Structure 1
Amino acid sequence: MSVGGQGQEQGEQLTLLDLPTPPPAKGRGARALARDGVQPAAELPVARVCVDLPPAHLDRAFEYVVPAALSDAAQPGTRVKVRFGGQDVDGYLLERIEHAEHDGTLAPLRRVVSPEQVLTPEVHALARAVADRYAGTLADVLRLAIPARHARVEGAAMPAAPTTADDVAGEPEPTGADAPGTASASPDSTSASAAEPADTLDSSAWRPYRGGPAFLQHLGAGGAPRAVLSALPGPAGERWPDAIAQAAAACVAGGRGALVVVPDARDVVRVCAALDAVGIGPWSGGSDDGSAGGYVRLLADDGPAPRYRAFLAALRGQAQVVVGTRAAAFAPVSRLGLVACWDDGDDLHVEPRAPHPHVREVLALRAAQQGAAFLLAAHGRTVEAQALVELGWAHDVAADRAVVRARTPQVRALTSVELAREGAAGAARLPGPAARLIRERLADGPVLVQVPRAGYLPVVACDRCRAVARCGACHGALALGSAQGVPQCEWCGRLATGWRCAECGASSLRSVRVGSDRTAEELGRAFPGVPVRSSGARSAAGVIATVPDTPALVVATTGAEPVCEGGYAGAVLLDAGVGAMSTSLSAGEDAVRRWLAAAALVRSHADGGVVALVGDGAPGPTQALVRWDPAGLASRDLVERRTLALPPVVRVAAVTGTREAVQAVVDRLELPPGGGVLGPVPVTGSSQIGVARRSTRAPAQETLDAEVRVLVRAPLSEGGALVRTLAASLAVRSARREGGTVRVQVDPAEML
């Protein structure tokens, strides 16, 4: 310890006069740090590796020596094998440096799994940002971002990515007239096509919206506009897939790539068909000149080999457009110019695995990091999307009221007040006005019937006392799969033969909720001679993609509505109160989103399209559907959440698990100013189902094992500090190997 004068920091090393100051320490070279007789690489001998291990306290880069024999293959972004904790584990080589920060000896890289640099610097930065936003680890995010290696696909002969001046590191990417054109353009026409995208590209799907053509023009000129689009139904060529395809075409014409993320495979097919229509065809790996062009599909349903092939095509710069589902948000698109998300309110956009990122937030982070345009499109409007608009981060792109009325069908709300004059018939599940609508519209084409529940009778009750019928073994709800079926438990699957009500002893059952199969059966009897098609995950035919433009009844669960190319002649949305009576914060917007998704498949009012909403839904969502004004509903909900300090106005983290483990994590938190803790409270719902099944455990032990939830919230400006202290507490828990279970979800979809 040195001694200095007043105001001098303790521990500072003083220098003697007239003596040169020693140079700063640069760290020990890998040649001095290597062990086991390994000869290090001559240049950049130290590798920083992200080890693929889940513990939170290991969320950092570890240093290894690069053997001289692996120097050429061990490049940043490659998959490697390293020794960690006495075993060989997978990892990604993040970077190579000259000097190590570690003072001891370094272990060498075991081997390079593949020379393919699957982790690009842009995706690495995005994955790190996503992990930091959701209190997760980089390894967890990289498992979501990079598909599993398929050696046969990787080793197949594929054309190399084109070498241009843009590929040289450090050079700025040209825009406007200096940007390269599409792969199909000739060398003489490349600059012209990139310089005048707005004059040559189709913009028909954007003309009905205020600011739509301007967004497309800005995008084609190499800009990075941000927009939230309230999509409307329309004729072929002017629907939401066409709008997204035209935006991608404008981006490609400007020499940049595009990324489109949709909820499911059916939407992927629709977007790909729209891309074909605007002149962007599927990528083909058979070209010998290495030219880039076309689109690829990136979704798990295609299988490991096609998915990895599409990933490599994007990685190598051979495919300019990537269309896929949730994991495609991390696709390594070359020279990314546009990120687009369809229907951000769909729960399929939320990753079920830790750290549970939402596609909307991932794409927003990516747009900000890489200077890309951002497009959020949907028939409905989430509160989170409305918050982006009101914060000024994105612009609202919507049509005037006259255009909305011209392009949407007529919507009638058949509530109990409207049906009072029908008498007893108005209380039927399919009241007289809805039946008459179906009969009249069947003369002009197919009629869609949307049902919120699948199955036959998903919930049954005692016919005498109306108590919900439950399983005698686990107390799960009973359901009927057919008219002659035996009641079966929805939890444990046991057949309830000889069931009797525990309340009154009766043995007869009545329906409480009617599913799509029972609805199709009833409609078939009510409309004899009319074909009835069922679409749903539990239906015999599964989810139907399209139906012909001929008279028929199409019964579909929410999210499984087939597309009719000419539009449905009418639609009936049953059981409006089922979706709107949820205790979820987003119950209203979710109901409107589902209703609008079905109503958007119906012809316009001018063409005779009529939609009937049957049931007593909440007034706000019902009026939003009738007026076709989801943005107004989202704006009112945002005002209420701002008053009540609820997301997205504040940042919230849900900590769920066993009581002692959750309390230990929360006690270590250093809450930022304005932060607070709500709970713990017992968890109800799916987590309690598992507890109820443990019928052999003592009640006292079941109470101890029951899960609890704590909500930790902070102001939006302190959201980063909240996540950092939460991640630090989880790292301590991991390092100490504390018992119990803990699950953390930042910005959870459900809080109640």
Structure 2
Amino acid sequence: MTEPTSAPYPQEALLPAPEQSPPAASGRPRPRAAKGAREAAESLPVARVVVDTPLPHLDRPFDYLVPDSLDAQAVPGCRVRVRFGGQLADGFLLERAAVSEHTGRLAFLERVVSPEPVLTPEIAGLARSVADRYAGTMSDVLRLAVPPRHARVEAEARTPARVPGEETAQAADGDPWSAYPAGPSFLAALADGRSPRAVWTALPGIGADGPVWPRAIAAAVRATLAGGRGAVVVVPDGKDVALVAEALAGTPHVAITADLGPAERYRRWLKALRGEIKVVVGNRPAAFAPVADLGLAVIWDDGDDLHSDRHAPYPHAREVLGLRAQRADAAMLTGGHTCTAEAALLVATGWAAPLTPDREVVRARAPRVRPTGDDAELARDEAARAARLPSLAWRALRHGLDHGPVLVQVPRRGYLPALACQHCRAPARCSGLPPVALDPAVRAAAQVAALPGGPSPAVRARVASGGGSGAASRAAGEGGAPGPVCSGPLALRGGHAMPYCRWCGRIAGDWRCPHCGSARVRAVIVGARRTAEELGRAFPSVAVRTSGRDGVLTHVGPAPALVVATPGAEPVPEGGYAAVVLLDGWALLGRPDLRAGEEALRRWTNAAALARPGAELVVLADARVPVVQALLRWDPVTFAERELDDRAELGFPPAVRMAALTGPAAAVREMVADARVPGGAQVLGPVPVEGGLERAMIRVPRHRGAALAAALKAASGARSARKAADVVRVNVDPLDLV
């Protein structure tokens, strides 16, 4: 099927890269080697190798000769060591050829690191497509796609491969897709070996075995296995991996997470590579899992920023799976309790079809949402708009605790992560030296001193004096003039701790407001631990449990309890939460971010999906805000469609393609001037960003996205070829545009 030019994954992205080997041709017979010299292999003596180098102008395969001694080991996909630029470098052997187009002398492969063909042709082609889409290099993508080698794991005996169809012996309990009008036909298409693509808006609710969405994914995977093909499931974090793995109990699969350790991760990855397992579940790196004969690619909660890689070329798992599904002619399921603008674009362009439940089923399973800012509640409680825990929230908590656990979602972690002057409300800032000027020993002592309980007098004196290392005198100007100050935000780690700087760790026990001279501070933002402390005093007979960065709970029992959690760390309750309170809605909606509304709705619906059907859900936000209205109606699809329309009108992603160029000011301006961007491109900036750098944004229509990526790749290659001193980071379709 030919996709329209405006489709999210245009057909030109799937074309093979042009041959980039050095020009000229050589079909001469192999010369006779001198005595003692290495001889090339008799058959297919030329090895095309992608060398592990980050330089964009060297992003192409290079030809090497295969020594006769390595003929049997040098198989396509294996790891090799080659002489490159006068040094030994790692690489992957892409293919063997009879002749080379290079007219000069070819170097020999130094050695084969392992004869295991870890780079399959499918993953190699996918890596090339991802690199081209994100204006990166193939070697950078391969670092994300292929895990580091463990020789001991490779030497382990292989387990017998399962016969086709053996995995289908286990059947799913119940039918989680019956609530969706198109659900049965979607499963039937997977079982028939077809490749449907769907954007799935999952129902909320907790079943007898926990959340329903993992069982729905497991049913889709089993249908794919019944059709004789494999599946890859990508979820945001390890907690979600455990839920899907539990739902797949009885179906052969491997779960790959970061906490397994390098050896165990590689062992499970090899099982998929060797065809012993046809189902892989994991977080972001699992998008490149070498599952043979891929039939289904699943991504859950694609709006979670954990799906976006923080390493170059910064690919998003949704885009990687989309490219892979189109290359392999596989099905794709993009699911979540909410819908992102990118997922709405997949439906709008016809690349995927919507998979939504009936409204009657939604009303029966969704919680009863009540905002504190509606007119009826303001008439009853005039302080509801300003209070952090208005009477409506207190009533919901008290009533919910009579029937089971209740959830309180707090958007900020920590105790008091931001402080201000008690008198004039000016933000409390650090007046010490910047982090680079502090002695490392002083910074370490400051971190210890900031712990609850307060610093010891000795540590306090050392921090105040600069540690006696001369850091203060070096930072000061001539004649004792004051040097630069840190100006970082002050915070509190506990009720008995002293204020400390979140940037440099300095204890600010002697802080005074530079505007009014007051030494007293007040909280600007209240974190999860302080909220738990306040609720513990308000409900002294109820157990209070916290879940967040310091420790994530996975499950809670049916007994009454107050569960205070940050977004994404909500534990799964047995039987569902009896009530849910979403605190500090302003903190999510007021963020200076293009995706603030979309992210707030995603976090809210994920928490609300853990509630019992009809349970009371209180959100501390104004009912007139469109995001709150979408939560009230439980209609994330309409919100996503409107969000996509607004972004198309304003020229924001995903309606357009954008690229961010970040680096020193002169380097960014030089690269913008040198890049041959396609016609119709708009250059925004450069503008200053943190760290003394500048950033420029380049915006083009969606159908010119591939041309923009190619132009930026060429400009980066030109800079690296002339050995430009400053590095400019290129990020195509960044999540953060502010």
SS at match of 1:419: helix
1:458 pairs, out of 417, 420, 425, with 417
Residue 266 (str. 1) matches residue 239 (str. 2): yes
1:516-527 mapped onto 2 (5 Å cutoff): 516-527=528-539
| 1:364 alignment counterpart | 322
| 2:208 alignment counterpart | 236
Residue 220 (str. 1) matches residue 191 (str. 2): yes
Cα offset for 1:181?
A: 1.4
1:181 pairs, out of 165, 173, 181, with 165
Contact 1:314/1:320 (<8 A) preserved:
yes
The TM-score normalised by the length of structure 2 is: 0.87
Residue 328 (str. 1) matches residue 327 (str. 2): no
1:649-688 mapped onto 2 (5 Å cutoff): 649-683=655-689, 688=690
SS at match of 1:102: coil
| 2:437 alignment counterpart | none
1:300-315 mapped onto 2 (5 Å cutoff): 300-315=258-273
CA–CA distance in 2 between the matches of 1:130 and 1:373? 19
**Matched-pair identity in %:** 54
SS at match of 1:603: strand
| 1:444 alignment counterpart | 403
Contact 1:577/1:617 (<8 A) preserved:
no
Residue 559 (str. 1) matches residue 572 (str. 2): no
Q: Deviations over 1:32-85 (max 9, x none)?
A: 498992200000000000000111111000110000110000000000000011
1:738 maps to a residue whose letter is: A
Residue 721 (str. 1) matches residue 707 (str. 2): yes
CA–CA distance in 2 between the matches of 1:578 and 1:121? 47
SS at match of 2:419: strand
CA–CA distance in 2 between the matches of 1:549 and 1:572? 18
Contact 1:33/1:106 (<8 A) preserved:
no
Cα offset for 1:647?
A: 0.9
Cα offset for 1:673?
A: 2.3
Residue 744 (str. 1) matches residue 730 (str. 2): yes
| 1:17 alignment counterpart | none
Contact 1:457/1:518 (<8 A) preserved:
yes
CA–CA distance in 2 between the matches of 1:95 and 1:477? 55
Contact 1:46/1:65 (<8 A) preserved:
yes
SS at match of 1:42: coil
Contact 1:387/1:648 (<8 A) preserved:
yes
1:377 maps to a residue whose letter is: G
SS at match of 1:241: helix
Cα offset for 1:27?
A: 1.9
Q: Which structure 1 segments of 5+ residues have no match? A: 1-24, 165-179, 186-192, 194-199, 281-293, 692-705
Q: Deviations over 1:429-462 (max 9, x none)?
A: 1111110111111111000000000111110100
Cα offset for 1:184?
A: 7.1
Contact 2:677/2:712 (<8 A) preserved:
no
Contact 1:581/1:617 (<8 A) preserved:
no
CA–CA distance in 1 between the matches of 2:717 and 2:29? 29
Cα offset for 1:614?
A: 1.3
Residue 433 (str. 1) matches residue 392 (str. 2): yes
Residue 253 (str. 1) matches residue 253 (str. 2): no
1:481-500 mapped onto 2 (5 Å cutoff): 481-500=493-512
Cα offset for 1:31?
A: 2.8
Q: Which moved more, 1:31-40 or 1:449-458?
A: 31-40
Aligned length: 659
CA–CA distance in 1 between the matches of 2:60 and 2:592? 40
Contact 2:168/2:226 (<8 A) preserved:
no
Cα offset for 1:565?
A: 2.3
1:647 pairs, out of 650, 653, 676, with 653
| 1:8 alignment counterpart | none
Contact 1:153/1:308 (<8 A) preserved:
yes
1:579-598 mapped onto 2 (5 Å cutoff): 579-598=588-607
| 2:344 alignment counterpart | 386
Residue 344 (str. 1) matches residue 299 (str. 2): no
Cα offset for 1:716?
A: 0.8
Contact 1:233/1:407 (<8 A) preserved:
yes
| 2:30 alignment counterpart | 31
| 1:82 alignment counterpart | 82
| 1:470 alignment counterpart | 429
Contact 1:79/1:93 (<8 A) preserved:
yes
Residue 508 (str. 1) matches residue 508 (str. 2): no
CA–CA distance in 2 between the matches of 1:623 and 1:610? 16
Q: What do you get for the CA RMSD once the two structures are aligned?
A: 1.8
Cα offset for 1:236?
A: 3.4
| 1:633 alignment counterpart | 639
CA–CA distance in 2 between the matches of 1:477 and 1:258? 46
CA–CA distance in 2 between the matches of 1:669 and 1:740? 16
Q: Deviations over 1:638-686 (max 9, x none)?
A: 1111111211111100001101111121111122122121111111xxx
Q: Deviations over 1:557-612 (max 9, x none)?
A: 1111000121000100000111011121111010000000100000001xxx1100
1:687-706 mapped onto 2 (5 Å cutoff): 688=690, 691=691, 706=692
Contact 2:81/2:91 (<8 A) preserved:
yes
Cα offset for 1:265?
A: 0.3
Residue 536 (str. 1) matches residue 494 (str. 2): no
CA–CA distance in 2 between the matches of 1:626 and 1:457? 30
2:612 maps to a residue whose letter is: R
CA–CA distance in 1 between the matches of 2:317 and 2:400? 39
Contact 1:416/1:427 (<8 A) preserved:
no
Residue 403 (str. 1) matches residue 361 (str. 2): yes
1:467 maps to a residue whose letter is: A
Cα offset for 1:275?
A: 0.5
| 2:609 alignment counterpart | 600
